[in-house]
Amino acid sequence: MDAQGLDWLLVPLHQLVSWGAAGAMVFGGVVPYIPQYRDIRRTQNAEGFSTYVCLVLLVANILRILFWFGRHFESPLLWQSIVMIVTMLLMLKLCTEVRVANELNVKRRFFADFDPHHFWHWSSFADYLQCVLAFTGIAGYITYLSIDSALFVETLGFLAVLTEAMLGVPQLYRNHRYQSTEGMSIKMVLMWTSGDTFKMAYFLLNGAPLQFSVCGLLQVMVDLAILAQAYAFSRHPPKPTPHAVHSTSAKAL
């Protein structure tokens, strides 16, 4: 009787915890960008955030969705990719609007120019959207042709998670280049670290493909390196140099 009563309590509790973990996986990834989004809107300055972060996450999550067609994985991971794509498009839209509003007498650049020197530095959100749709169409067509190849599918999955694991690298490089973390939201990086740690544990506990776990570990290591930079630069801030200008495009998450 006691065992039955305990089961009556544990079964719904286990289900509740599972739902909570799934919800955290779907929406937890976008939480770190909320403080950064609010900071950009409040200051009308996007120099502290690199739009290359958006590029990395858009590519990674589009590839992950395509990987799902070849090898189904946990549904929360699929929905996480969809939510993240929408979030990155919103971040990209805000950053573009703020940057263009602050630029004076700058020649407008378009995706249709196909100028590699100005890739991902266009003057309108519509151009970024065109690029994302073009990439999705090309990658989707290649996947459609090669979906029966196990090697292709596994490689696609590895590229998806490896790209996401490199998310913090542009931010790491930007911080190193300027020897400063000014404009970067520490809250955002702390949320990255906690979220990536949770995500890696989720991968391990739910038997996600090996690519997810390995690249999740790499992502946590990059997050910790960025936090180490923030600590080091706060203790030894660089001396200001005259006419030092930070490029708006230099920042990445």
Tens of pLDDT, residues 70-122? 988 888 889 989 999 999 999 999 999 998 888 777 788 889 888 888 899 89
* Residues 14-63 pLDDT 10s: 667 677 777 877 887 788 888 889 988 998 888 778 788 899 899 999 99
Rounded to an integer, the average pLDDT of 174-193 is: 80
Range of the domain at 173: 11-104+114-233
Angle, CA of 204, 36 and 119, to the nearest 5°: 90
Tokens matching residue 239: 């001396």
Q: Is residue 128 part of a domain?
A: yes
**pTM confidence score:** 0.76
Q: Is residue 6 part of a domain?
A: no
Residue 111 phi/psi, 5° resolution?
-60, -35
Q: Is residue 252 part of a domain?
A: no
Q: Is residue 244 part of a domain?
A: no
| CA gap 57, 63 in Å, rounded | 10
* CA-based nearest residue to 251, from 194, 167, 135: 167
Q: Is residue 229 part of a domain?
A: yes
Q: Is residue 83 part of a domain?
A: yes
Tokens matching residue 203: 């991968």
Q: Is residue 138 part of a domain?
A: yes
Predicted confidence (pLDDT) at residue 250 exceeds the cutoff of 60: no
Residue 91 phi/psi, 5° resolution?
-65, -45
Tokens matching residue 70: 């070849």
For every residue of 52-84, DSSP letters joined together read HHHHHHHHHHHHHHHHHHHS---HHHHHHHHHH
Quote the number of domains for the chain.
Answer: 1
- For tokens 């976008």, what's the residue? 30
Q: Is residue 243 part of a domain?
A: no
